[in-house]
Copies of this chain bind each other. A is one copy, B any other.
Amino acid sequence: MDVKTKMRPQILLFGDSITEQSFRSGGWGAALADTYSRKADVIVRGYGGYNTRWALFLLHHIFAMDNRSAPVATTIFFGANDAALPGRNSERQNVPVEEYRDNLKKIVQHLQAISPTMIIALITPPPIDEKGRMEFARSLYGENTMKLPERTNEAAGVYAKQCIELAKDMGINSIDLWSKMQETDGWQKTFLSDGLHLTPEGNAVVHKEVVRVFSEAGLSAEDMPYDFPHHSIIDGKNPEKAFRVQCS
Contacts and interface: CB of A to CB of B under 8 A. Distances in A.
Interface string A127-142: 0000000000000000
Contact of A4 (B64, B93, B232): B64
Given A34-B23, A41-B43, A61-B4, A54 B234 contact: yes
Interface stretch (A44-52, A102-110, A213-221): A44-52
A67 interface: yes
B43 A34 contact: no
Given A30-B25, A92-B236, A231-B48, A3 B38 contact: no
Interface string A227-248: 0101110101001100100010
Contact of A31 (B21, B25, B44, B61): B25
A158 interface: no
Given A25-B26, A47-B38, A228 B93 contact: no
Copies of this protein in the complex = 2
A37 interface: yes
A53 interface: yes
A63 B124 CA distance: 38
A192 to B, nearest CB: 19
A236 B93 contact: yes
Contacts of A63: 4
A27 interface: yes
Contacts of A38: 20, 46-47
A230 B7 CA distance: 33
13 contacts: A3-B61, A7-B61, A23-B34, A29-B33, A30-B33, A38-B46, A41-B43, A41-B44, A49-B230, A57-B243, A61-B228, A61-B247, A91-B236
